[in-house]
Amino acid sequence: MERQTAAWQALVDGSGHHRLFTLEHDPVITMGRRAAPADLLLPEEQLRARGIELVVSDRGGEVTYHGPGQLVLYAVVDTRALRIGPSDLVRALAGSVSAYLATLGISAPYDTAHPGLWTEQGKLAAVGMRISRGVSMHGAALNLTTSLDAFSLFVPCGMPGASATSVAAVMAQPPSLTEAAAACASRFAAALGLELSPEVSSDEPR
């Protein structure tokens, strides 16, 4: 989170570059700006006992989960420099993930009413961003081989009864996180008309 914030500040100051962080989190449930306390079905101490951290986030949306087997994409982009609106950026990121999934034979269109990528089996990817002073933070989270048990600990998207799914649940051989990250990143860069210059950090948080 610190690196994302630093990248955001650099862009706001005019000294940074557009960035897309691709990573894998340790287990954490995050509460977005529209989350309600009742959306959590277990108290924080019981979540901690299960090894799950609880974090209040400034992103859009309600409650979601990040954990092993899930590709998280944090986009730090200056919408002013690219002359695009917030919805254009969200659609570019969501569309890039959706287009990649289509190459795997998975149809998961972006739902603007319930932000995320949905299949007939349930929600496959969460999408939630924050744009402040023209620069974005946060992004999307794609369930690849993610354990789905944690999604029963809260009300996803503020929708009781909504279910989550993963790529592993809908196809026999899901791609690796590294493969999915590269494919989504290249599509996102192309959608914004940017040149992709990959960097690898050994201290990037999971």
DSSP 8-state class, residue 171: S
Phi, psi of 149 (to 5 degrees): -60, -40
List the beta bridge partners of residue 120: none
* List 29, 47, 126, 157, catalytic entry: 157
List, edge to edge, every strand of the sheet that includes 122-132.
Answer: 19-23, 70-76, 135-143, 122-132, 116-119
Pairing of strands 122-132, 135-143: antiparallel
Does 157 qualify as catalytic in the annotation?
A: yes
Tell me which residue of 202, 183, 145 sits closest to 20, measured CA to CA: 183
Active site residues: 157
